Amino acid sequence: MRHLLSAADLDHAAAVALLDTAEQMAATQSRQIKKLPTLRGRTVVNLFFEDSTRTRISFEAAAKRLSADVINFAAKGSSVSKGESLKDTAQTLQAMGADAVVVRHSASGAPHRLAHSGWIDVPVVNAGDGTHQHPTQALLDAYTLRRHLAPPGPDGGTTGADLAGRHVVVVGDVLHSRVARSNVDLLTTLGARVTLVAPPTLVPVGVGAWPARVSYDLDAALAEGPDAVMLLRVQRERMSSAGGGFFPSPQEYHRRYGLTPARLAVLPEHTRVMHPGPMNRGLEISAEAADSPRSTIVEQVANGVLVRMAVLYHLLAGHPGTDEGGAA
């Protein structure tokens, strides 16, 4: 694996391998000393052109736990505000010794352009580009689901397992969501069945070509007893820039598409409640659902570090079992 630009780039074997490596990373994090020497001497640059808390800090923590040096670049306050191009910024960072670039950008396709333009010659990881893809978010979601829903293997763990036969309902602002697109790609690759639920105004054109079923009725989808319900953040910042009303009011949205206490109560006991964050409590999810014992929202944040450790390991140090620093 040279780059990680899209969840669709991962086949079944590659996806399971990354999840298995994340499982190995988890075992190391129970130790008193959590740092591994695997990427000592390497430099990872977090190149963020959009605001981020969870993703940026997660990548930083992942790189540091693998003993890499980390450079955090934010567009605000940099030469980008003076008109510097993506090309010049990237080449400047490589000239300073970057061994991998983690990029978040408001323009869909920016990480792909960076990886394949010839401007730089280092691995590129997509940390979210426009409304296109967010592959490491999909990986951490799949890792979380696998821990809760996959049958234990011979060793009692989930190594080698996928999500075959599981049903995941993804609810909310599908139109603007790179998380939804990435999860549909990865979850179906891992054998899960995905149902997208949203108001008609928040369903993208061409969704019929996605490997997922589309519904406009949340209660009907929940009545099927899904294994997980993933709430998507209503991206009001993107809606305001588009200039138009996508639903009548926040109250109406919550009534039709929010995970209310009443909807939570009808879910099977094993169903997990997920959210990529940050949450709009009282809009896409109620406080009772967000804080319920079946919620994995905080766990997803913790798992994000493990998955991103696995991604950086595969990109910069080879696969498990090589001589270049094992994960165990």
Residues in the annotated binding site: 54-55, 82, 104, 134, 137, 178, 233, 277-278
- Binding-site annotation, residues for L-aspartate: 82, 178, 233
In whole angstroms, give the CA distance from residue 303 to residue 323: 26
- Binding site, annotated residues for carbamoyl phosphate: 54-55, 104, 134, 137, 277-278
- Going across the sheet that includes 100-105, the strands are 69-74, 43-48, 100-105, 124-129
Q: Say how far apart CA 308 and CA 303 lie, in whole Å.
A: 9
- Rounded to whole angstroms, the Cα distance separating 288 from 292 reads 6
12-25: b (≥16 Cβ within 10 Å) or e:
eeebbbbbbbbbbb
What span, in angstroms and rounded, lies between the C-alpha atoms of 145 and 73? Answer: 32
Tell whether the torsion through CA atoms of 301, 155, 189 and 257 is positive or negative: negative
Check if the beta carbon of residue 186 is closer than 8 Å to that of residue 142: yes
Structure letter (DSSP) for residue 207: G
Alpha carbon separation from 224 to 217, 220, 268, 296 (Å, rounded): 12, 7, 10, 21
**Residue 218 buriedness (CB in 10 A; 0-12 / 13-18 / 19+):** buried
What is the spatial distance between Cα 214 and Cα 208, in angstroms, rounded to a whole number? 8
User: In this structure, what token pair is assigned to residue 16?
Assistant: 């399971």
